[in-house]
Amino acid sequence: MAFERVCALSDIKEMGSLRVELPDIDIAVVRFEGAVYALEDRCSHADVPLTDGDVETFDGAPTIECFLHGSCFDLRTGEPTNLPATEPVSVYPVRVEGEDVLVDTEADGRLPLPSGN
């Protein structure tokens, strides 16, 4: 694992997202109910930034919505929760150390659901 600092925790509004442009990928760093998530900042259906959409709950899952066609993506897994998107987006491990948000962008982009889900 190769965690790197991508932003400060205070840079991300609660129930909000922040686009972080890295050399190989753009990621969305998202805060939702005290947790921080990182996923590819690109809708798999429309190829537009997910950070332009809303962070919300959809069918009980924490999601980010694509503003263009309304598909939501589960922040934990990257899986779409509704149409028109059918393909997941990559998700990355996140650590918060003090005020620093660190993301492992070298991970394979697929995280398992936590046990019990």
pLDDT of residue 109: 66
Q: Taking Cα atoms as reference points, which of 94, 96, 67, 70 lies closest to residue 82?
A: 70
pLDDT in tens, 33-59: 999 999 999 999 998 999 999 999 998
pLDDT in tens, 65-100: 999 999 999 999 999 999 999 999 999 999 999 999
Q: Give the predicted TM-score (pTM) of the model.
A: 0.89
Q: Which residues pair with 53 in a beta bridge?
A: none
Cα(9)–Cα(57) distance, rounded to whole angstroms?
21
pLDDT in tens, 4-16: 999 999 999 999 9
Cα(61)–Cα(75) distance, rounded to whole angstroms?
8
Cα(97)–Cα(99) distance, rounded to whole angstroms?
6
DSSP 51-85: GGS-EEEETTEEEEE-TTT--EEETTT--BSSSS-
Q: Assign a CATH topology to domain 3-104.
A: Rieske Iron-sulfur Protein (2.102.10)
Cα(45)–Cα(95) distance, rounded to whole angstroms?
28
Cα(50)–Cα(25) distance, rounded to whole angstroms?
13
